[in-house]
Copies of this chain bind each other. A is one copy, B any other.
Amino acid sequence: MDNALKARYRIRAGIIKAMAHPTRLFLVEELSRGERCVCELTDMVGDDISTVSKHLAVLKNAGIVADDKRGTQVFYSLRCPCVLNFLSCVESVLMTNAAERATMPV
């Protein structure tokens, strides 16, 4: 694979990687229901606010979410609704896995 092609895949993998964490996946799913401020998200996640803030920064850096500061609060929102397709595909992989396991020979 030549370098230009490698770089292409590196960039794309970076976007996927941004979602490849339980907390960030939760954040994406929650934001798919509408914008939320960091403190709301922090309450839901239950981790330290600095941890949640970092996860949001990762998502923002990948271009998956947008932020909007209003007063002392920062509101995050999904920038590309299509990321939910990721989740529905993940569900089909899980269902395929479950089906396979059910018919597995002992």
Measuring CB to CB, which residues of chain A are less than 8 angstroms from any residue of chain B? 1, 6, 9-13, 15-17, 19-26, 44-46, 62-64, 79-80, 82-83, 85-90, 92-94, 96-97, 100
Is B12 in contact with A16, judged by CB distance below 8 angstroms?
no
Is B63 in contact with A94, judged by CB distance below 8 angstroms?
yes
Bound CA–CA A24/B94 (angstroms): 19
Tell me what chain A mostly uses at the interface: helix, strand, loop, or mixed: helix
Closest beta carbon of chain B to A9's beta carbon, Å: 4
Most B-side CB within 10 Å, residue of A21, A79, A80, A85 = A80
Is A79 in contact with B63, judged by CB distance below 8 angstroms?
no
Bound CA–CA A15/B22 (angstroms): 11
